[in-house]
Structures are given as structure tokens and as C-alpha cells.
Amino acid sequence: MSNPTEKIALVTGANRGIGLETARQLGRQGVTVIVAARDQGKAQQAAGTLQAEGISAVGLKLDVTSTADIQAAARFIEEQFGRLDILINNAGIFAEKQFGGNNSTSVTQAELRRTFDTNFFAVIELTQALLPLLGRSRAGRIVNLSSILGSLTLHAMPNSPIADARNLAYNASKTALNAFTIHLAGALKDTNIRVNSAHPGWVKTAMGGEEAPMEIADGAKTSVALALAADAPNGSFTHLGEPLPW
């Protein structure tokens, strides 16, 4: 079992990009980080990279779309740590053929289902499986990695600033994820757990592309702040401390 004064965090999709950097920034704050990835080797490699930087990290195979993996992860955390303080639902995919434009008339059922399986349904299943462990934390934190592209308010504006990025599968999955954030926050409002959605920004990752204006280190800051804040909000949608419209 872990020291009751140290925080334990699970970051999904943590073998690269924003997930790895989120784990790194949490680790630098003294958090023990469970680095989760679909591939065991990649999870172990990422954990090893962080360990070499002096961070307490452990690799974990976790395909978030696998019920067996989710159940195994819950057992692992129970046996190794006895509780979970922070859950960063970072894993996500973009399954559509190209980014940008409006594909509402052409998006396929396969793209929709694959996207929702990872970006929405998997998040709910994993979170529900880990709630008993989060309930043992003195200050449980759940951070759902959303996107400003899930904002219905911004998309509905006559001169929407995000009108050129209407990929229905991805955007709708993030809108649905935001709904989960609001609903779960309400369900847990009388507990020590806080639930929030984070927009990392447009970041230079495999998904964001090299033309993105933000560096990976900055893309992790919103999640880390929500995870570590003693006075964290509950049921918010934010970017770098600023509220975003639903």
C-alpha cells in the first residue's frame, strides 16, 4: 500500500503527447503516476522515461475500450495502492478521414462508433470502475480531456470561430463527454470528488499537427491544475483557468 500522504494518479493514453507530459508534470509535483497505454511495452517505456527523470511512475497496459483491461486496472490499483486520487481521462482518438470542414453529410457509422467507443463510452466505463477507489481519496479528482470543438455554444454562433472544424464524430463525442462531466459532477457533489472537463488547447501532437500554436508542455497545464487544485471547481469546462462555453 502507498503512503497515505502521497497522491496516486492514473493517466490514460500516457505513452506520448499530452498524456505523457501530464504524467510528467504531475510526477514533478510528487505524485506517483500510473502511466497507462494500450501496449504494455509502450507503457513500460514511458514509465521508464519518467523514472529516469526522478519521477515515481509505473507502466500499465490499459486499452480503455477493453472491459477486461479496465477490470484488471482496477484490481492492480486496489492491490498496489488501495486508492486512487486522480484520474485523467486523456486517451482519445480522431477517426475521421481528414480534419476540418463539415462532414455531417458524409461521416460514416464506422467512424462515429469507433470515435464514441473510445472518446465517450470507454471513459464512462473506466470512470465507473474506478469510482470506489477514488472515493477513498481525501480529494478525488477526475479530469476529462475534452475540446473546444465540443462547444455547442460556439458552433451555434453566426460567425463561429470554430466553424471550419466541424468533424461530427470527434466534435459530438466531446460534446457528449462534457455532458458526462456535468452529470457526474452533480451525482458526486456531496462527496470529496471533483469532476471537470479540460480543453488542452490546439497543441503540437500527432493529432494536432505541427501547425498548432501550443507546445505540449502548455497543453498539459489545464489538466494538471484541475488535478492538483485544493479548491478545484466541480462540473466546469476550462482552459488554462478560464471557463469555456458549453
Which of 170, 189, 204, 221 is an active site residue? Answer: 170
Does 170 qualify as catalytic in the annotation? yes
Label the pairing between strands 242-243 and 237-239.
antiparallel
Angle between helices 40-52 and 17-28 (to 10 degrees): 40
Strand ranges across the sheet with 57-61:
57-61, 32-37, 8-11, 86-89, 141-145, 194-198, 237-239, 242-243
Task: List the beta strands (DSSP E) in the chain.
Answer: 8-11, 32-37, 57-61, 86-89, 101-102, 141-145, 165-166, 194-198, 237-239, 242-243
In a 3-state reduction of DSSP, which class is residue 88? strand
> Which of 7, 61, 97, 174 is the catalytic position?
174
| Structural contact between residues 38 and 19, judged by C-beta atoms closer than 8 angstroms | no
174 is catalytic: yes
Catalytic residues: 170, 174
